[in-house]
Amino acid sequence: MSYFDRILVCRDCSNTFTFSAGEQSFYAARGLVNDPQRCPTCRSAARRGTPGAAAASTYVSYGPSASSAGANPGRCTRPPAVPAAR
């Protein structure tokens, strides 16, 4: 049985994604006869229990600024004196 890459349309975000030959053989090996309905992004989002949150998946990277803000307990956190630019 030979497979070839196919382009599918995501049910959730309507983006196209590749259902590669390797994935198809993987699906077939697991006995899955249906095509995937969602792109990998929406699939992982649905797996996290947040359906429809695929668009927000780009905001998951929280910067280190949140943890460094309170990194000096007990110390006065005055803003540093900014010298005048002239």
Shortest Å distance, C-beta 65 to Zn ion: 30
Encoded tokens for 52: 């429809």
Q: Where do contacts with Zn ion occur on this chain (CB under 5 A)?
A: 10, 12-13, 39, 42
- Inter-CA distances, 81 with 68, 77, 78, 84, Å: 19, 12, 8, 9
Which of 18, 77 has the CB closer to Zn ion? Answer: 18
Shortest Å distance, C-beta 57 to Zn ion: 10
Which of 17, 24 has the CB closer to Zn ion? Answer: 17
Closest by CA position to 19, among listed 34, 1, 7 = 7
Shortest Å distance, C-beta 36 to Zn ion: 10
CB 44 within 8 A of CB 21: no
Which of 12, 24 has the CB closer to Zn ion? Answer: 12
